[in-house]
Structure 1
């Protein structure tokens, strides 16, 4: 992910698979042997080919000047070794439009008369194994459908799709051609796996080349880096009532406390989830609400000596006062004579209400106090972000960690510190529950007027002259909690709008 943060999204995703019929392998087989009898030969030759591929792409730059790359080699228990490679190109060689895509990648069967050798190699290596109605037993079939979405739809032109890769040109004018000499199996452009002609001719193997439309390829690549070798973990417990939840709760220690102090601290034994169940046992009214509804009626109390969740129904008096006010406007027919709002309301100084609301957000003292109680990792993140703010730098930071490691605690400390310095900070989250944990928090969809259904060309419903646009311009920072829950199209829509 450091590569992505430094260089942006990757440009090319390349997969090369060992060809057991490479001459370098066949020439070394003993009489009666096949290539699958000599995995040592396959691996050594494949390694040699991979080094040559790296020289062609990275050193010689046959697809453009490379500024960064990453690759993973896979060895399956069945099948052949293959490599997945991500390539990031120099700004001058970036692939920015369908014309650029077509200059690198094809997804059609070549003309037999004009490119006879390439025609043979495409049919030999780059046709997806026929599946679907033609072969329900294919290994790619999952729940009655091909997990690679073959056969692909025909397209007269290459366009940028809504998913990770473009929709490549696959013209329907190409008539099906036979895959075998017997002519019993036919294929057309809908079955072609995208490839680069130069690489396919040079390496004579399955070598898939794709234009990257998102960073999903990074996730695909790195899951192989971190999954490690296959293994089975076995743990023998003498206690048949082993409680994993209790083990997790027992591990919620403060970094500045000793183990003995943490074990003696009843508060450290509690979490919002465990206290939700506690309130359900103690308060019959609490049983009416689901966990995600709980913050609307109960609040977390860090200082309570008994339960850490307290009833906040008293806050609903604001709602009751509003009802009384509306009743004063009641005409007797159930309608309310309220003033018409034709634009964003402003105060006497001409400040839009949404900006005034942000400026007037109460800063909880406990969040201010949290600044002095950050652990080492939190403090590093806090200081790094504050340095970017004070230096007026444009920057993007990712805070990553398992649940319970204090990410929200850090966000609240940042919000408190920036707001007491008179900065406007927009606190957002991908869910309402997470937004309620941040002072002044709102869901990102609500704050930025993001459509519920977004695609690769969506925009947010924010006009240039709106008060919300002014609020965003006046903001120093945006905090977005639980961002990985959100589809990439949402971030792209927001980026285009900004």
Structure 2
């Protein structure tokens, strides 16, 4: 269905087919949203009606069930409600957040946080929509395709052309405004030789001032069009950023003669008092309303590109969570139970994910075209960590347990073969489990580690909480210190 919709919304010569639906303005927008929701409902319906096809259980429990005579597969296993590989689901966002934290652990703190927003006035968009006699918002398929092209060009500038210096890692997530335009949140990790050791070094790449119109007329016009916030304040009570007669983004900013970093690690950019003034929406503004930007990127892409220096304190976790927060939800809904009607004891994750979800036209087009929602480099290898005979085993619902146990790879996992590899390879004994994917690659079809011939990957251990809980329980039984047991459990579950 997705491929059919992607085929339908392509531009073709008028001699072959007249694009009736694509010239239907709001009807076309409704067509896109309804079409994508059919695709999403079809995928979720497959998960709902095929819950019995795959079952998961630990190897130890599977062997115990076989020894007790329960050879039928329906006697064991836990049902998979919605997999973490499903794009947009809570598990998907959670795993991507943890992968990003693994990159942060390996490369250090990110250096720059960049927000890149689609500009519907780009000449590539206006040139096409003007020929069709429609507006940019009536052709979200064109806006998304142009934005995706420019986003890939921006990532090439950041990673390969080294605009800010040598980049050793990058992460981005696509988000969709409720008014429709897509934008990307990008975290950039720089090599240690290109970081900003002093606050004054930030001024080399980030500016928060209005340029002189005589010296830089092109940059002045770009700042006036794309980078000025608002204006907002007492004279603009209906501005979207106003909360309780104050700007929710804390504009206008206070003047500052030089760039500094406050006690919590947040940058305070240079905004000198003797600033150039400009007029926007009938209001004269100064440096206090300028959003931090990079002049080179602003002039090249002619869009709202906010460039912020990342501090090395509490905001790091906020940034990672912010770019992996998931899909939007409606602000109001009728009260109803999210439990399964047939089984009140079971939480229906598919219904929770599907109900009251907010879908915009650009998000619909983005997903119909199968453009990437998340990007990260370097790659992250997820490593399972388990006790003996506690590795996860996935099998079909109609597979007899004895045949599952007789499989030659049933007792093999990344963790177990890592131990065997330490016996075979001297180089392996120099690496921890998390460092192992940097020198070795996992062969999925053989379920074995082998020396890496090319590429690079970071390791991230999964699911250590259950093991720690079992160790704490054993410690409690041996020492009788029950209070320490519960304190540790609470700490582990909050990590």
Whether 2:110 is the aligned partner of 1:110: answer: no
CA deviation after TM superposition for structure 1 residue 133, in Å: 1.8
Whether 2:124 is the aligned partner of 1:24: answer: yes
The equivalent of 1:198 in structure 2 is: 296
Kept after mapping to 2: 8 A contact 1:132/1:141: yes
Cα distance in 2 for residues equivalent to 1:117 and 1:12: 25
Cα distance in 2 for residues equivalent to 1:111 and 1:143: 34
Flag the 1:218–1:58 CA change in 2: closer, same or farther, 3 A: farther
Equivalent of residue 261 in structure 2, options 160, 167, 170 = 160
Cα distance in 2 for residues equivalent to 1:216 and 1:374: 40
Alignment of 1:357-372 (within 5 A): none
Cα distance in 2 for residues equivalent to 1:84 and 1:392: 33
The equivalent of 1:34 in structure 2 is: 135
SS at match of 2:159: helix
Flag the 1:398–1:23 CA change in 2: closer, same or farther, 3 A: closer
The equivalent of 2:484 in structure 1 is: 438
Whether 2:61 is the aligned partner of 1:15: answer: no
CA deviation after TM superposition for structure 1 residue 175, in Å: 5.0
CA deviation after TM superposition for structure 1 residue 177, in Å: 2.4
The equivalent of 2:228 in structure 1 is: 127
Flag the 1:212–1:238 CA change in 2: closer, same or farther, 3 A: closer
Aligned length: 298
Equivalent of residue 326 in structure 2, options 189, 202, 227 = 227
The equivalent of 1:78 in structure 2 is: 179
Flag the 1:114–1:436 CA change in 2: closer, same or farther, 3 A: farther
The equivalent of 1:213 in structure 2 is: 311
Equivalent of residue 283 in structure 2, options 185, 198, 202 = 185
Kept after mapping to 1: 8 A contact 2:102/2:460: no
Cα distance in 2 for residues equivalent to 1:483 and 1:135: 48
CA deviation after TM superposition for structure 1 residue 222, in Å: 4.4
SS at match of 2:174: strand
CA deviation after TM superposition for structure 1 residue 140, in Å: 1.8
Q: Could you say which structure has the higher strand fraction?
A: 2
Q: Which runs of 5+ in 1 are unaligned?
A: 248-370, 420-434, 442-478, 487-498
* Residue deviations 1:377-404 (CA, integer Å, cap 9, x gap): 9xx8xx99xx9xx9999x99999979x9
Kept after mapping to 2: 8 A contact 1:72/1:221: no
The equivalent of 1:142 in structure 2 is: 243
* Pair member with larger Rg: 1
CA deviation after TM superposition for structure 1 residue 216, in Å: 3.0
CA deviation after TM superposition for structure 1 residue 224, in Å: 4.5
The equivalent of 1:101 in structure 2 is: 202
The equivalent of 1:62 in structure 2 is: 163
The equivalent of 1:92 in structure 2 is: 193
Kept after mapping to 2: 8 A contact 1:129/1:138: yes
Flag the 1:237–1:244 CA change in 2: closer, same or farther, 3 A: closer
Flag the 1:97–1:40 CA change in 2: closer, same or farther, 3 A: same
* Residue deviations 1:83-131 (CA, integer Å, cap 9, x gap): 1110000011112211221111011111111111111111111111122
Alignment of 1:320-359 (within 5 A): none
* Residue deviations 1:340-384 (CA, integer Å, cap 9, x gap): xxxxxxxxxxxxxxxxxxxxxxxxxxxxxxx9999769xx8xx99
CA deviation after TM superposition for structure 1 residue 414, in Å: 8.2
Kept after mapping to 2: 8 A contact 1:98/1:159: yes
Whether 2:153 is the aligned partner of 1:52: answer: yes
Cα distance in 2 for residues equivalent to 1:142 and 1:112: 33
CA deviation after TM superposition for structure 1 residue 7, in Å: 0.8
Alignment of 1:285-434 (within 5 A): 410=471
Kept after mapping to 2: 8 A contact 1:65/1:89: yes
Equivalent of residue 2 in structure 1, options 97, 102, 105 = 102
CA deviation after TM superposition for structure 1 residue 179, in Å: 2.1
SS at match of 2:260: coil
Flag the 1:131–1:91 CA change in 2: closer, same or farther, 3 A: same
The equivalent of 2:360 in structure 1 is: none
Flag the 1:104–1:224 CA change in 2: closer, same or farther, 3 A: closer
SS at match of 2:185: strand
The equivalent of 2:452 in structure 1 is: none
SS at match of 1:99: helix
Kept after mapping to 2: 8 A contact 1:408/1:438: no
Flag the 1:221–1:5 CA change in 2: closer, same or farther, 3 A: closer
| CA RMSD between the two structures | 4.6
SS at match of 2:272: coil
The equivalent of 2:405 in structure 1 is: none
Kept after mapping to 1: 8 A contact 2:387/2:467: no
CA deviation after TM superposition for structure 1 residue 161, in Å: 2.2
